[in-house]
Amino acid sequence: MTSTPKMPPPTVGFLLHDVARLLRKRFEQHARDFGLTRSQWQVLAYLDRNAGIQQGALAELMDVEPITVGRILDKLESCGLAERRPHATDRRIWQLYLTEKAGPKLEEMRTLGELTRAEAFGEIPAAERARLLDTLERMKTNLTAACQMPAAERQTRNG
């Protein structure tokens, strides 16, 4: 008789990665008919919250290379959804903005995001959802602070 090997319980890192991957996949399934990629949606969302941001700063927020953001912006500009504008006092700097045409696309995106989150949360009670979000926010705060610290200080502080 062959026994099934016992798997260790999943770690928070693996679970977060899997949930994030599945959220992206499901959002892409919903968004397929809207003519934009998830990366393009992501740029639109960041520009909505960060009007006037520079390309390098946007790339840093997205954790991608500036050339990647540049290609996405080229496509969004050709669709009339985003634009590069010269900085008021520094000719070398281009600032990024959404166009008016992006407004309806953002609303579609928000609706798809709400649908995707509703599917993910399913029947999980509101109190549990709130607790999860609070815990994730605290983890993010902890990790953001840890990433600012030199490695030697992190090791001294944590062990």
The pair of three-digit structure tokens given for residue 90, joined into one six-digit string: 């520094």
Mean pLDDT of 14-26: 95
Span 92-131, pLDDT tens digits? 889 999 999 999 999 999 999 999 999 999 999 999 999 9
- Residues 131 and 96 placed together within one structural domain of the fold: no
CATH number of the domain bearing residue 82:
1.10.10.10
**87 shares a domain with 61:** yes
Q: Could you tell me the pLDDT band of residue 76, with boundaries at 50, 70 and 90? A: very high
Average pLDDT, rounded, for the chain: 91
Inside any domain, residue 22: no
DSSP H/E element including 83: strand 82-86
Looking at the fold, whether 51 and 110 belong to one and the same domain comes out as: yes
Answer whether residue 157 shows pLDDT above 70. Answer: no
